[in-house]
Structure 1
């Protein structure tokens, strides 16, 4: 033992001798809580820094679609041509495609796994695809071979699609009956002026082939949403002449489908920060506002670098719009389409105001909105998002309408820009979106509406419920009573804690913005998020990911005691819960002054108790853990220490 070591041992012994008897360091430790909890090493496809690796790849899917909507039979008939680019390092003998309208058949897996009493994801059972004329081509080879299994279809090629850039085309005709109840994601709604068709999951779409699991072919059951590749969608929708169609992407033929009056109003709206009516409430059904007076009309839309498209068609729409101002100086447009039953200044008349504010906030705060329109559609759907278009409840008003509008538009960032797998990891889009909704709500109109996220202790009843489940629970098997917490609120609270309590705003925002920019239009996995946040923020967060995202444990920090020691004070704290956390304390002194004391999370590596020597020339009156009540601490009774004994000041 060298001289320095002998001196160190002597000092430690002296401190142990003079401090209160139980102040020595804990012999056992909690290092297990801080160890890596999953395999997170990088490879050529995904780096350890949480970025795409030097050989990262993803496939591309471009669609040309022509479809016709029949508002008498409530059917849609169409043709799709898919151009598929195989950027993977292996040849593909087949592709998998989704036929999600097959969920609306009496023998679908989704229907057969729905409880007898039903749930949010009820759906009609008179639908399902009729697929005809399928042709799959690679170079000059042609195949018609395909296999349909529930909501998936396997399409075989005569010769493989070559790796690293090979292309194939798949074309087919499709037809189905549009459901009334579309699992709270699509369907039809009858109002006084006609039916509103909310069209989503409305065409056959290729599944994702990735470097993680190969083909992602989970069936469409209910709670699990979607995972698609990016590409260009060029689609035409033919409808009765007196229908208004709004859809993802830019309208390509406004001169053909808009009357001169509506087109002039559209031009006005593109320059206006205030909402401009395109079709006023009293003009619904007015024949002078349609470009044609009979027959059908074809609306042509196009969107690039998107993972999906949706549209809505109706003759019952009030239609309004306003411009959206983006940080780069670019402009896009907010639009709302809703029936007269939804009209009113306390209801959908403010929809475009809400939409504009939401898109502008997220663009400024996180990443600029990329698409030419952002459309909010009133339908018989609680709330559902697609690139550039939402369906929200036609009955929503006030704070409820703001909340659902803001939430669904937030989904344009997660998962439409950052393309996560919603069917496996609902928390990576719902939770992240709920988190950014908090700040958008605080910013909107000087806090006109409240946010739930800054009241985390109001949710501790769920955190102590023995039937709670973990965030990583597969959404389609999660108890629906838990889904709101494990997919939305608990992951959102996790990010809130990182920003407001653990990392601080600047470090968190730098890392989170970097994550969005790095993975925009790509397919991150959970480990990519964990690795990227740690590398940019400069913090090992294994203890947090493990405790909060992959467990059902709780936070319970406690103050055990405060006692005077040689003119200073010793504050004894403990981790009475399952998850370690940094300790933030407010120390209030007898003279009325106070100070903040912060202890790093590493104190819990050494055990479940810790003593902090507070050097002060004042008298401690009280100590409070987490004075701002940021943590969802499940036991508030041990958060404070009241003054006991000593009077006067030093």
Structure 2
């Protein structure tokens, strides 16, 4: 609807509210929610001048029993107390104890029995118990004297013979054994895979030794029990690990191999040297050599020695099935070896994409955080679908037996490698507490994964990162959601909550709220400040604000501390033009509107049915008013206008003659989550304009606001969030005039799940038509 604004009364309308409403908590500062700054962690989000962290150095010897799928190990740990506190005991993590039959994890699992259950489901419920967990045989001090220790589920307390004072170290030993789980049956973050066709095993070994828990200024000892979801909090240290395996096994491990001349043939050493100078993957152990090793199993043993400096953990993989390739990657002027280990079952997919994915990840992540500091980065293919450790990751996805693979498998492989290798940065280097806050590593890493995927290929089919992809989760039932700021073991809908939602939030910050320049600078500052340290949520929140100069407390509060969702709407639009009070212009405009006004149905029919009215038949009934034109301009009208104009300043006269359009647009916040208003205006001449209004527009009223837009050209439509930037859950009310939001239903036919992938189908078609063999999978 178009209205005329009288004179200059518009000024008060544009200025906004005269008195602000009481500030709502949506824009309140995160005061009570965040810990008080101190000398360890500052109000800016940086480590304080008295920041400290503990250190744990390891010397480990372990032997793999390939016949019985078990490990026997011994370790010497030197623990250094850099805190200002005196410690009377130490806590270690015994993560393998999650596999004990009576573990807290097993006892607290919930489930249901259905009226109809598959054979596989029943088998899973009734399978034979796995006697897993650490069998601790000895805990002694440096001299071999037994130390009192207490095992509490997945944690072990070691009582010190005398208090450990600040700046002192204590060295002790632990001996243990444990069985390796069949990962395909029991799941888990490590384990073995058995290949019945060639009667061989592939081992991915992690959480395999008693590890020091974190003692810090926030929690004291982080000894929250491991139940399966909340991962790990670990201190940094140096590792020397000696791994004894069958002599024909190839071993990948955290760190650098120290005795290559003892465990590698001269041919393999030459290929390694070649790979160290190559910008393309060089095969060190070929598929033919691995296949030969599968057939002719050696009976001897070899010990591989790895060393790693300033890491928080150590993992390794071993198999005679491994193909091994590597290439050099230059990161910030430093050479890094990107490597992959995989069985023949992974080819051709792994040989083509794995190591290139590793190298790509290092470059993109380094650009946005810090230069990758370690000498190697490894991707291993085995039973674990995706898991990360310093310098080494375990990744799934393999092609079909005929070498073909689906598009989903291809991009699934690239994405999981980017994600798991990316975890070197979050949390292996920027070492957050995963046991408490999954989002600090998974969410930040998923965001970085999205950036790396988009640099891999134009239009890369990323699963997470875009606001539109989190909508279904955001509008799901509230009783199935938890805030992001929920302990790792209590999170509902783990993937969307801990991975997708925080990653999407960071993307919204980068693209819509802060802009790329401010966001990228602040995000990189966070990485630099907390590299090789233990950040907490407040450190991230505060650094992002401190380095950008943007108050984001409203965003952290809404996106991280609540389950509110974005649902903004355009409620109404009113169109105004200025009444210049020039009678000639105003009357002509009114006459035009009058002529364009539609006739009612009765008026249209009366023109047909009533040939003459009484006045038409008897003109003598007409008087002054029958001949009066209310829209005609008189001399008196012109005199009044001239008198009015004399009292105006030049600026006021210009405003009256501007011909501007004024649109009063009403907005509603239906979802509770305040967000910027991204408004697109489509003009009458076919052009368009997008205006990004900060979320602070909601600070006086979180539910309903109006905004006046002034344009030179008439607007034909308004669209809210036109580029899907804010994860708005209902687009049907985002336009004015209203437009129907597209939806769809799917018509499908019940199909066999084992459909051939596109590559397989095309190859089959090519052979049927007499074509040659396709090599597209090579």
In structure 1, which of residues 631, 638, 641 is the aligned counterpart of residue 733 of structure 2?
Answer: 638
Matches within 5 A, 1:464-613: 464-466=475-477, 467-479=480-492, 482-565=493-576, 566=578, 567-569=660-662, 570-607=664-701, 608-613=703-708
* Greater displacement, 222-231 / 455-464: 455-464
Any residues of structure 2 matched to 1:137-286 within 5 Å, and which?
Answer: 144-163=147-166, 165-181=167-183, 183-191=187-195, 192-193=197-198, 194-286=200-292
Say whether residues 1:125 and 2:136 are aligned partners: no
The answer as to 2:355 corresponding to 1:333 is no
For 1:600 and 1:287, how far apart are their aligned partners in 2? 63
| Corresponding position: 1:112 with 2:107 | yes
Superposition deviation, residue 560 in structure 1: 2.1
Name 2:140's counterpart in structure 1.
135
Report if the CA contact (8 A) 1:454-1:630 is conserved. no
1:423 maps onto 2:518 in alignment: no
The CA deviation at 1:224 is 0.9
Which structure carries more strand by proportion? 1
In structure 2, relative to structure 1, the CA distance for the partners of 1:73 and 1:287 (3 Å cut) is: closer
Q: Distance in 2 between matches of 1:41 and 1:501?
A: 30
CA-based RMSD: 2.6
CA contact (8 A) 2:91 2:158 kept: yes
CA distance in 2 between counterparts of 1:156 and 1:521 reads 28
Q: Confirm or deny: 8 A CA contact 1:259 1:289 kept in the other structure.
A: no
CA contact (8 A) 2:62 2:244 kept: yes
SS in 1 for 2:692: strand
Q: Is the 8 A contact 2:482 2:563 kept in 1?
A: yes
**Partner SS for 2:732:** helix
Q: Which moved more, 1:397-406 or 1:22-31?
A: 22-31
- 1:568 CA displacement: 2.5
- Cross-structure match for 1:406: 418
1:34 deviates by: 1.0
Q: Is the 8 A contact 1:225 1:422 kept in 2?
A: yes
Q: Tell me, in whole angstroms, the C-alpha distance in 2 between the residues paired with 1:320 and 1:71.
A: 24
Give the match's secondary structure for 1:451.
coil
SS at match of 2:706: strand
Secondary structure of 2:171 counterpart: strand
- Partners of 1:100 and 1:468 in 2: how far apart? 28
Question: Separation in 2 of the partners of 1:288 and 1:260?
Answer: 21
Which segment is superposed worse, 244-253 or 554-563? Answer: 554-563
User: How many residue pairs end up in the alignment?
Assistant: 620
Inter-partner Cα distance in structure 2 for 1:46 and 1:454? 30
- Per the alignment, residue 9 of structure 1 pairs with none
Label 1:637 to 1:287 Cα distance change in 2 as closer, same or farther (>3 A). closer
Q: Distance in 2 between matches of 1:18 and 1:459?
A: 41
**1:298-337 correspondence runs (5 A):** 298-327=303-332, 329-337=333-341
- CA pair 571-173 structure 1, distance change in 2 beyond 3 A: same
Q: Which of 58, 61, 69 is matched with 2:53 structurally? A: 58
Q: Secondary structure at the match of 2:425?
A: helix
In structure 2, the residue corresponding to 1:637 is in which secondary structure? coil
Q: Distance in 2 between matches of 1:538 and 1:379?
A: 46
- From the superposition, tell whether residues 285 and 451 of structure 1 become closer, same or farther in structure 2 (CA, over 3 Å): closer
Q: Is the 8 A contact 1:104 1:123 kept in 2?
A: no
Structure 2 gap segments, 5+ residues each:
1-7, 113-120, 400-408, 579-659, 740-778
- Match for residue 619 of structure 1 among 709, 714, 720: 714
Correspondence for 2:621: none
Q: Is the 8 A contact 2:313 2:390 kept in 1?
A: yes
3-state DSSP class of the match of 2:267?
helix
Are the equivalent residues in 1 in contact too, given 2:447–2:465 (CA < 8 A)?
Answer: no
- Counterpart-to-counterpart distance in 2, 1:496 and 1:321: 33
Q: C-alpha displacement at 1:541, in angstroms?
A: 1.1
Task: Point out the structure with max Rg over C-alpha.
Answer: 2
Q: Does the C-alpha gap of structure 1 residues 124 and 221 become closer, same or farther in structure 2, counting only changes over 3 Å? A: farther
1:543–1:314 Cα change, 3 Å: same
Contact 1:142–1:158 (8 Å) recurs in 2? no
The aligned counterpart of 2:771 is none
Specify the alignment match of 1:41 in structure 2. 36
* Structure 1 residue ranges without an equivalent (≥5): 1-13, 645-650
Rounded to whole Å, the distance in 1 between the matches of 2:458 and 2:188 is: 29
1:353 aligned partner? 356
Q: Deviations over 1:208-232 (max 9, x none)?
A: 0011111000111111111100011
Query: Would you say the 8 A contact 2:431–2:534 is kept in 1?
Result: yes
Q: What whole-Å deviation, never above 9, does each CA across 1:590-642 have from its counterpart, x for those lacking one?
A: 11222222222222111133332222221011111222111100111121113
Distance 1:543 1:36, change over 3 A: same
User: Structure 1 residues 40, 91: CA separation in 2 closer, same or farther (over 3 Å shift)?
Assistant: closer
Stretch of structure 1 that moved more, 180-189 or 97-106: 180-189
Q: Kindly indicate whether the alpha-carbon contact (under 8 Å) linking 1:434 and 1:489 is maintained by their aligned counterparts in 2.
A: yes
In 2: Cα distance, 1:70 partner to 1:124 partner: 21
Which of 446, 469, 473 pairs up with 1:434?
446
Per the TM alignment, residue 475 of structure 1 is displaced from its structure 2 partner at its CA by 2.5
- 1:490 shift after superposition: 0.4
CA distance in 1, matches of 2:163, 2:301: 41
Q: Does the 8 Å contact 1:133/1:172 carry over to 2?
A: yes
Distance 2:340 2:129 in 1: 27
CA shift for structure 1 position 39: 3.2
**Scaled by the length of structure 2, what TM-score is found?**
0.76
Moved more, 501-510 or 31-40: 31-40
CA 1:326–1:190 in 2, change beyond 3 Å: closer, same or farther? same
